[in-house]
Amino acid sequence: MRTAALLLVAACSTTPTRSATGELGAWQAGPALPTPRANHCSAAIDNWVLVIGGNYQSNGTFVKTDEIHAAPLAADGTLGSWQLAGHTPSPVSECTATADGRRLYVIDGLYDTDTDSRKVYTADLDAHGMLSPLASMTDLPTIAISSEATVHGRDLVVMHSSLDTDATGELSTPVTAPTWTTTDLGITFRAQPQYAFTATHAYTLGGYHDTSAVLADAFVAPLAGGPAVPTTPLPTPTGFGEAVAVDDYVFLVGGRTQVFGGSGTTATYAAHIEAGGALEAWQPATALPMGRTNHDLVRVGDFLVLTGGATSGGGDATVLVSQVRY
């Protein structure tokens, strides 16, 4: 009887596993960023959100920051207070960030000190949300700004697009002994696309090839290497937005339809991922409370956290949180 009772208590106390359904909860405002920003990067380590670099408009000019702020997200989606967790080598915008375990990777960007560019920096986050000093892990073989990255196995994978070669591809290197490999995905150059990763695939969504128009095309490629193939296009041409894959869905959040000027959209969409990686039809999800462009987006547990960006013009201090797993 005692054993049975213990088993019953254990079963009742087990938290059900949540998964994405293609729905987004209502977007709730979180504590404002201490420094307004757009064109920044972000990452999640355990329940911590890290927001890195970026720029904002002040007195008619754009100012970059070297600040890295961190805030904890509670299990119910409540975001705690922001704290200064560290600094980049010099002020930076258009950086890329990802994490693996307790380790943060900050990749390329437009630094105030040019010699800080074209590098991968690493730092470790402690239990109190503070970073060790960023250290250079390796130099990149080419430019990889306004991009996305992930850790696949023990390899760091960075998306990049080259105007010189009119090509988009993956850069990958082991994190333990950096040696870069370049994979041409067979996609032409594009600026400001939306990238997303599952455990097996990389998605390249929209962006623009030249300044004449923003694109709606979409591609999927295996992370293990190999060419990309077209998949279901976006519902509307979109660049300067954010995408994230959660379980069997890819979500597209914000962005804009014009290369120059124009306002950020409030639109969000979700597409189910088929077994082979292709995307099914895009469906509307819960709209943002205001238009967003040049923002950043990261998943933390069962929630998405959107930081900064703008409706138009310079960056701001907006933070929004939405539940993505149910």
Report the pLDDT value the prediction gives residue 60, as an integer from 0 to 100.
Answer: 86
pTM: 0.94
Report the pLDDT value the prediction gives residue 224, as an integer from 0 to 100.
Answer: 82
Sequential pLDDT tens for the chain (326 residues): 444 443 433 444 455 689 999 999 999 999 999 999 999 999 999 999 999 999 999 888 999 999 999 999 999 999 999 999 999 999 999 999 999 999 999 999 999 999 999 999 999 999 999 999 999 999 999 999 989 999 999 999 999 999 999 999 999 999 999 999 999 999 999 999 999 999 999 999 999 999 999 999 999 999 988 899 999 999 999 999 999 999 999 999 999 999 998 899 999 999 999 999 999 999 999 999 999 999 999 999 999 999 999 998 789 999 999 999 99
Domains of the chain, first to last: 17-323 (2.120.10.80)
Q: What phi and psi, each to the nearest 5 degrees, are found at residue 320?
A: -130, 145
As a residue count, the chain comes to 326
- Alpha-carbon distance values, 251 to 48, 244, 270, 276 (Å): 21, 5, 4, 18
What residues have CB less than 8 Å from 76, skipping those under 6 apart? none
d(CA 97, CA 107): 6
DSSP state of 43: E
What residues have CB less than 8 Å from 292, skipping those under 6 apart? 241, 253, 254, 255, 264, 265, 266, 306, 309, 310, 311, 318
Report the pLDDT value the prediction gives residue 288, as an integer from 0 to 100.
Answer: 98
Report the pLDDT value the prediction gives residue 128, as an integer from 0 to 100.
Answer: 98
